[in-house]
Amino acid sequence: MKHLNLLVGGPTSQWPDQLTAGKVSGDWIGVDRGTLRLLNLGIKPLVAIGDFDSLSADELKRVKSAVSDIRQAIPEKDETDTQLAVTVALHEYQYDRLDIYGATGGRLDHFLANFWMVLEPRYRQYAPKIRFIDKQNTITFFAPGAYEITKEPDKKYLAFVTLEKVDNLTLPDEKYNLKNENVTRPISYASNEFVGDKGHFSFDSGMVAVIQSKD
Amino acid sequence: MKHLNLLVGGPTSQWPDQLTAGKVSGDWIGVDRGTLRLLNLGIKPLVAIGDFDSLSADELKRVKSAVSDIRQAIPEKDETDTQLAVTVALHEYQYDRLDIYGATGGRLDHFLANFWMVLEPRYRQYAPKIRFIDKQNTITFFAPGAYEITKEPDKKYLAFVTLEKVDNLTLPDEKYNLKNENVTRPISYASNEFVGDKGHFSFDSGMVAVIQSKD
């Protein structure tokens, strides 16, 4: 499975330990200050995206000398740098999975823009490839269907998050169950748990995010 | 204006400086580990909410001896401790404003459950009273109408966030404008800015959150 990672400029305090240790495998795209942080981890990104206006002159020089492909989003297009990075990742490179780090714990307008990106027509088909990963959470996205998911060993909690109207949401074998629930608005069914290592769920319309998390 | 604050158990690294310094005025309700953190700030909450199962025996003893009114949410009701705290604050006490601290930067299933709380029929009418505040963000909620908002001196960015279908969203005098935009899904119009100290906006249906933020 070909695997691409994005590092966005959110606080490093939210990084999972594996990233802090520089041990996340795969290719990288850097967004804003994330690019500099990748260089500090000894990782040279394929592409750097951002206006880098929060970097000092020396930091910017370092980014420019290390990365040949540097691009910038256009704010008027209501496109964030992270969205541009996802577009580049999905359209110019062929990856089966896209993991986004550094997108949490900072500006909430950015987090929500990125979280809801999967609802845009141009990204919707790619949603199942996208994950958000931080110190306490892994977010994955699902189109209508029936699924089996596997518990992450270090996570205790399991949440089913309806991003929009969702029909017939069924959670048959988790700690708290639902049967053919028609959900008419965004709800985070939080603090559920796996019973054992596997869980199943299904739904007929809309988009569902699954969040595995720990305290 | 009578003012109540809630402290939830999210990471203290996300607290605004004023809270870290113990200088936020008003009465308090503590949620989970937030209760212990209030006691550490020298603040005795009116009510403490949670099962406190993450506290040590000594910590729990301290909470129990300091707070006489301790309550717990029922997970099967899909109600988080924060939601119970908001119910208690709105129904048993009469406050004009409810500021929620400590709700960001930790578990995202919790953050989303709390953020979307205002869409539940039982909370919808109270949404304009509720704010979420952390180190980089202030979130406020608006019912349909026309509004003037004031820039917070320490914040640079302004976002308009449609929590659901929103008709005729108009941003007439911000850096980036919209005119009678019919928004059919949740979108965070991020990284907008005030032009001057005041801004106006209006919309005809649905719920909008405004986020003032800084890097």
Residue window 21-50, chain A: list those with CB within 8 Å of chain B.
Answer: none
Q: Do A76 and B110 touch (CB under 8 A)?
A: no
Q: What mean pLDDT is predicted for residues B150-170?
A: 97
Query: With b meaning 16 or more CB within 10 Å and e meaning fewer, what string describes A90-121?
Result: beeeebeebbbbbbbbbbbbbbbbbbbbbbee
CA distances from B109 to A53, A110, B152 (A): 32, 17, 28
ipTM over 0.90: yes
pLDDT class for A194, splitting at 50, 70, 90?
very high
Q: Which positions in chain A touch B80 (Cβ < 8 Å)?
A: 190-191
CA distance B34 to chain A (A): 13
Q: How many helices (H) and strands (E) does chain B have?
A: 6, 14
CA distances from A81 to A31, A35, A71, A75, B111 (A): 6, 12, 9, 9, 23
In tens, the pLDDT along A130-165 reads 999 999 999 999 999 999 999 999 999 999 999 999
The pLDDT score that the predictor gives to residue B137 is 98
Question: Which among A12, A108, A181 is the top mutation candidate for probing chain B, defined by the most B β-carbons within 10 Å of its own β-carbon?
Answer: A108
Domain spans in chain B, listed from the N-terminal domain onward: 1-135, 136-215
Q: Round to whole Å and give the CA distance between B209 and B168.
A: 15
Please choose, from the candidates A160, A146, A214, A156, the residue with its C-alpha nearest in 3D space to the C-alpha of residue A190: A160
CA distance A107 to chain B (A): 6
Residue window 161-180, chain B: list those with CB within 8 Å of chain A.
Answer: 161, 163-164, 176
Average pLDDT over chain B, rounded to an integer: 93
Spatial strand order of the sheet with B145-150 comes to B145-150, B198-203, B166-171, B178-183
Is B136-215 in the same CATH topology as B1-135? yes
What percent of chain B clears pLDDT 90, i.e. is strictly above it?
82
Residue B73 has pLDDT above 80, yes or no: no
Q: Which positions in chain A touch B72 (Cβ < 8 Å)?
A: none
Q: Which positions in chain A touch B136 (Cβ < 8 Å)?
A: 106-108
In tens, the pLDDT along A15-73 reads 999 999 999 999 999 999 999 999 999 999 999 998 887 789 999 999 999 999 999 87
Q: Do B215 and A107 touch (CB under 8 A)?
A: yes
CA distance B117 to chain A (A): 8
Q: Helix, strand or coil for residue B164? A: coil
What percent of chain A clears pLDDT 90, i.e. is strictly above it?
82
Residue B2 has pLDDT above 90, yes or no: no
Query: Judging by beta carbons within 10 Å of its beta carbon (0-12, 13-18, 19+), is residue B155 exposed, middle or buried?
Result: middle
pLDDT class for A77, splitting at 50, 70, 90?
low
CA distance B74 to chain A (A): 11
Q: Two tokens at B183?
A: 């928004």
Residue window 76-135, chain A: list those with CB within 8 Å of chain B.
Answer: 76, 78, 80, 104-110, 112-113, 116, 119, 134
Domain range A1-135, its CATH number among 3.40.50.720, 3.40.50.10240, 3.50.50.60, 3.30.70.270: 3.40.50.10240
Q: Round to whole Å and give the CA distance between B159 and B17.
A: 22
Residue A12 has pLDDT above 90, yes or no: yes
Q: Do B109 and A190 touch (CB under 8 A)?
A: yes
Which fold, B136-215? Rossmann fold (3.40.50)
Q: Which residues pair with A27 in a beta bridge?
A: A4
In tens, the pLDDT along A176-189 reads 999 999 999 999 99
Nearest to A211 among B108, B139, B176 (CB): B108
Specify the range with the lowest mean pLDDT, choosing from A50-54, B27-31, B105-109, B162-166: A50-54
> CB neighbours of A109 closer than 8 A, spacing ≥ 6?
B137, B157, B159, B161, B188, B190, B191, B211, B213
Residue B116 has pLDDT above 90, yes or no: yes
Nearest to B80 among A176, A190, A213 (CB): A190
Residue A76 has pLDDT above 70, yes or no: no
Q: Two tokens at B182?
A: 């019919």
The secondary structure element, H or E, covering residue A178 is strand A178-183
In tens, the pLDDT along B3-38 reads 899 999 999 999 999 999 999 999 999 999 999 999
- Assess contact for A50 and A29: CB atoms under 8 A: no
